[in-house]
Amino acid sequence: MIDIIGMVFIGVGLSFDVLGCLGLVRLPDVYNRLQAATKCVTLGTCSILFGTFLVSGGFTETGFKALIAIVFLVLASPVAAHAVSRGAHRAGIKLWDRSVVDSYAEDKEGEA
Query: Residues interacting with another protein, by CB under 8 A?
Result: 16, 19-20, 22-23, 26-29, 31-32, 34-36, 38-40, 42-44, 60-61, 64-65, 67-68, 74-75, 77-79, 81-82, 85-86, 89, 95-96, 98-105, 107
CB 34 within 8 A of CB 85: yes
**How far out from the chain centre does Cα 34 lie?**
8
Nearer to another protein, 6 or 13 (CB): 13
Among 8, 21, 74, residue whose Cα is nearest residue 46: 74
Nearer to another protein, 6 or 41 (CB): 41
CB of 24 to another protein, least distance (A): 9
Measure the CA dihedral 67/68/69/70, to 10°.
60
Strand, coil or helix: 24: helix
Q: Which is nearer to another protein, 7 or 64 (CB)?
A: 64
Q: Which is nearer to another protein, 23 or 51 (CB)?
A: 23
Question: Cα Rg for the chain, rounded, in angstroms?
Answer: 18
